[in-house]
Chains A and B, each alone.
Chain A
């Protein structure tokens, strides 16, 4: 009995610890105060207005969308192609490549940042959209590979054989059988790639110029010097965006599995 009580109390406390930070930041997005503190004197949308009208914030939102979209496209295309290729066991190539493709997830962002900064100085990619999109793609690739590979693994390969035996060429099989079946995994990978890009700060600090400041980077900078409730408003956008994307994936998956 006492044991049950202890685990219940522990469970409630732990859930609070995990969720409280996410809960407290949301209402502050609607504060009318100058400060990022409770209690909230009255509610207002002034900080959202600030977010969408001040050039620094507005530009950073636009940059986040541009860089996020670029990263999503590049990472998804490269990742899907490679995941398809990796299904075939190629001697001495597949296993090491698979490891290397997943390593960007392990290497500390700061380490990668130093290396890419030196490389970009050589290649002339510093302070460019292309440079940031490439950097974000590097760290998004592992997530795309893992999600696409997972959905390809769960796929019945006999379907592809059947298509081939019915006269479909490799391209037709890929387009009409393989890709539609892998679609949920591709979708998950794409959303994760976007999310990684949206949240990335360290590589942006190392590689971006003032022209490529993203929303996350702007939040980081603001938290460092002038703590304004605009941060809470930005956080609200982040959380709302995450929820929206998750719903989108779920919807796409459901619609897809319904159509099958």
Chain B
């Protein structure tokens, strides 16, 4: 018997194995790489291998040794990646001002074979420890600067965490904007979705079928099709403006697209089913005779609703709201198409760093912040709704 049980367990494990490997390699590993990429900083390390060795024993206060100077000259001569050198100079210059001019001078001097072995002959500044401290810091393979920069923080000269100077970065603004848009969309989804779910649960027969179909059809329709449809409705010569103009309600077209209004309308439409369905499924579990019972005992219908139906259905509302908010926070397609420049959410910043500038460290750091936020919301959602599956697509 135990042998057979063992057999069954082994077989089950073997059945799971292919997917476990697949998900491990193509889902868990990429997320792990992102974490590593966001704290790893070995660009300068790769560029200056000899200097790394020579600088190891240096005490950061003594004048630079001859070995360090010779190693840096050798490394700069060997560096053939102009972009990487440029990045390094920019980085050193932000740690120690004056580096840009110093490096320009040094690089052209190093290009001549007769230069060396002492850098102090090229420029007096190479004798100052401050310039070498900047290099030593840049050689550290681990950094928290990307993660800090993701939330507009940096380490100042003394190594303490401090806010970035105003106007230097807008990540925090965009995070706040992302939460704000997600919150507004969630609010409208509750506003429409809750009464809609109540109506659906209270209706019967054909009415219920129509109401349910109206929620499910958009859910099954391609996100792109739905966004394109809102494009048609909201544009300047679109149906909504055309209708309002012909009714005489407005005299010139309302700006409905490429702004916040458009984003909120389209996202509310896209996410509304995710709000209605959890509430509806909770409402179905509530006995239908509770409300009549409350009113028959003399409660005003509003009072009966507030004291009976609302508390009982609140669980559905909260899980629906979490689901909508969680999905909205990571949205990319809809804001990219119907939003303006001021409505882009954090996803578009991540996409910009990753696909436009190939700044994977910054993209990873921002991605991790977004991932952590999403996972926290998901854990709360699972705790509340007691299930692990989500019905919805991004």
Contact = CB atoms under 8 A, between A and B. Distances in A.
Contact of B350 (A20, A28, A111, A224): A111
B388 interface: yes
A119 B241 CA distance: 46
B347 A108 contact: yes
A101 B23 CA distance: 7
B37 A118 contact: yes
A108 B393 CA distance: 10
Contact of A18 (B27, B34, B218): B218
B42 to A, nearest CB: 14
B127 interface: no
A90 B9 contact: yes
Contact of A219 (B32, B195, B228, B272): B228
A11 B228 contact: no
Contacts of B390: 102, 105-106, 142
- Chain B interface residue number, banded: 35 or more
A138 B27 contact: yes
A114 B367 contact: yes
Interface stretch (B11-19, B57-65, B90-98, B309-317): B11-19
B360 interface: yes
A134 interface: yes
Nearest to A91: B9
Q: Is the interface of A mostly helix, strand, loop or mixed?
A: helix
Interface string A33-64: 00111100000000000000000000000000
Given A28-B232, A37-B232, A142-B389, A216 B224 contact: yes
10 contacts: A7-B199, A22-B217, A37-B238, A84-B15, A85-B17, A88-B9, A115-B31, A118-B33, A141-B19, A216-B224
Interface of B: 8-9, 11-20, 22-23, 26-34, 37, 192, 195-196, 199, 207, 210-211, 214-215, 217-218, 220-233, 235, 237-239, 242, 269, 272-273, 301, 326, 329-330, 332-333, 336-337, 347, 350-351, 354-355, 360, 363-364, 367-368, 370-371, 374-375, 378, 388-390, 392-394
Given A24-B233, A88-B8, 11 more contacts: A18-B273, A28-B232, A78-B22, A81-B16, A85-B12, A85-B13, A85-B16, A110-B370, A115-B34, A118-B33, A224-B337
